[in-house]
């Protein structure tokens, strides 16, 4: 199987972005058709999610050098927001980020809720704002 995998990788080549193969199908990676039967497995989706979160965390640390000093829960709130909105979207939350950097958790949570994001996804925004305010994980029980 190892030789087979290496041969396929060599023949297909790697593309980190979507492209159209000669048959016109949208393809990514080592010739993986996006329209393939069954789509993604849960395991594949989780691998992508983990990889995305690690990439986003590196980007946020580069833009917000104070972020590693936050508690794990508060870092997770910012990571989830960046996952949903994109890093550039999160960086537009200037007041929220200013209050987070200051450690003003009540004000930070209020700024999170005073946004179009909170109006568009109120349940998620309320949960994340409460996590930011308290520093406690949301437990959906």
> Is residue 84 a part of any domain in this protein?
yes
Identify whether residues 121 and 99 lie together within a single domain: yes
Query: What residue has token string 């996590």?
Result: 131
Query: What residue has token string 């003003």?
Result: 104
| Contact assessment for residue 105 and residue 87, using Cβ atoms and an 8 Å cutoff | no
As a whole number, mean pLDDT of residues 85-106 equals 98
Question: Within a 13 Å sphere around the CA of 61, how many CA atoms are in the beta-carbon half?
Answer: 10
Question: Tell me, what's the pLDDT at 140?
Answer: 64
Question: Tell me, what's the pLDDT at 129?
Answer: 97
As a whole number, mean pLDDT of residues 91-106 equals 98
What is the spatial distance between Cα 56 and Cα 79, in angstroms, rounded to a whole number? 7
DSSP 69: G
Q: Look up the domain containing 99 and give its range.
A: 42-134
Q: Is 75 helix (H, G, I), strand (E, B) or coil?
A: helix
Segment 27-66, tens digit of pLDDT: 889 888 887 777 778 898 899 899 999 999 999 999 999 9
What is the spatial distance between Cα 89 and Cα 95, in angstroms, rounded to a whole number? 13
Segment 1-29, tens digit of pLDDT: 888 999 989 999 999 999 998 888 888 89
DSSP 121: S
Question: Tell me, what's the pLDDT at 139?
Answer: 67
Identify whether residues 82 and 107 lie together within a single domain: yes
What is the spatial distance between Cα 54 and Cα 70, in angstroms, rounded to a whole number? 17
Segment 57-91, tens digit of pLDDT: 999 999 999 999 999 999 999 999 999 999 999 99
Give the chain's count of helices (H) and strands (E).
Answer: 8, 3
Question: Tell me, what's the pLDDT at 42?
Answer: 85
Identify whether residues 88 and 116 lie together within a single domain: yes
Identify whether residues 26 and 73 lie together within a single domain: no
């Amino acid at each position: 199987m190892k030789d087979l995998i290496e041969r396929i990788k060599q023949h297909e080549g790697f593309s980190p972005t979507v492209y159209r193969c000669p048959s016109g199908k949208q393809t990514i990676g080592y010739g993986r058709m996006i329209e393939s039967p069954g789509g993604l497995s849960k395991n594949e989706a989780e691998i992508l999610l983990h990889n995305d979160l690690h990439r986003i965390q590196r980007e946020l640390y580069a833009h917000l050098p104070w972020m590693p000093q936050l508690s794990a829960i508060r870092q997770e709130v910012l990571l989830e927001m960046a996952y949903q909105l994109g890093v550039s979207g999160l960086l537009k939350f200037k007041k929220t980020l200013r209050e987070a950097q200051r450690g003003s958790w009540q004000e930070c949570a209020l700024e999170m809720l005073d946004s179009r994001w909170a109006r568009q996804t109120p349940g998620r925004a309320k949960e994340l704002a409460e996590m930011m305010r308290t520093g406690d994980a949301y437990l959906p029980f």
